Amino acid sequence: MLDSMMNYLPDEAWKEHKRKHEGISLRKQIISEGSFGKKIELKEADSIRKFTPTLWYLVSSDSGKIMGIDNTCVVVGYNTPLGGIYNNLRCLAIFERVNSVYKLKLQSFRALEEFADDDNDNLFDRLDETNFSTKIENGRIVVNYSYMRGESTFTYGIRDGEWVLFNYSSVHRTCCAGESYSYDYETQKYSCSISSVGEYVPGKDTSYTIYQKRPIIYMDSMNVSKFDYDETGILAK
């Protein structure tokens, strides 16, 4: 068996190496020519996969009922080769199923965080590139992120005909402390919790919930960092 493996494994390894690097070269050529997908062009198709533009990577999808839309919907999160402010853009797309046909309802490049293609292979499929999921829950779209030291969740839905952010939460952990923050735009409640890990440090642990009236954040102009409040309920400078 070992003799047989020694005969065929080098050839197979070389084929795989060649295939990988030919793929990288082809994708780099597509990037340099600008012939990748700039947006979802199809308006309707008989399968979700057919909507995926050139070089886009479909990371996550889910189906269900969204409040404000009559038919069953599919929400999809993509990694794209499009350049953003700092890194690559992601796209959140919503499709409505009418009979046996899927129709594009929305595509937003602002609803999802940007990501970095650090290995520059234009595949966008590494673990740290696919660290999010999309789902439909209780009639709304929920996006979950997983980081090295925490998680975050954003919930979107339709209000008065507009796609808006309904709530968000985030958790961050270090070797010394754990922090969690959340805000609900319906109840106008902001919650914060900071707790020490390991040896107790007096004055470091705190937890509170206060009411804050925040401006609506629309999905296509979302930037939660612009709305950072302190414990007094005043917009932080």
Q: Which residues of the chain have pLDDT under 70?
A: 5, 8, 11, 14-22, 198-204, 222-237
pLDDT in the model for residue 232: 45
CA distances from 137 to 25, 64, 165, 191, 234 (A): 40, 8, 14, 22, 32
Query: In this predicted structure, what is the pLDDT of residue 18?
Result: 66
pLDDT value of position 231: 45
Note the pLDDT of residue 237.
30
* Res 229: pLDDT: 45
Phi first, then psi: give them for residue 40, nearest 5 degrees.
-75, 115
Per-residue model confidence (pLDDT) at position 198: 67
**DSSP label at residue 235:** B
Q: Largest Cα–Cα distance in the chain?
A: 73
Q: pLDDT value at position 165?
A: 94
Which pLDDT score is estimated for 235? 42
Q: pLDDT at position 20, please?
A: 67
Handedness of CA 146, 150, 155, 156 (dihedral sign): negative
Q: d(Cα 230, Cα 237) in Å, to the nearest integer? A: 9
Burial of 230 from C-beta contacts in 10 A (0-12 / 13-18 / 19+): exposed
pLDDT at 99 (0 to 100): 93
Helix H or strand E encompassing 234: none
Please report the pLDDT score of residue 202 as a whole number.
58
Name the nearest CA neighbour of 129 among 142, 141, 118, 144. Answer: 118
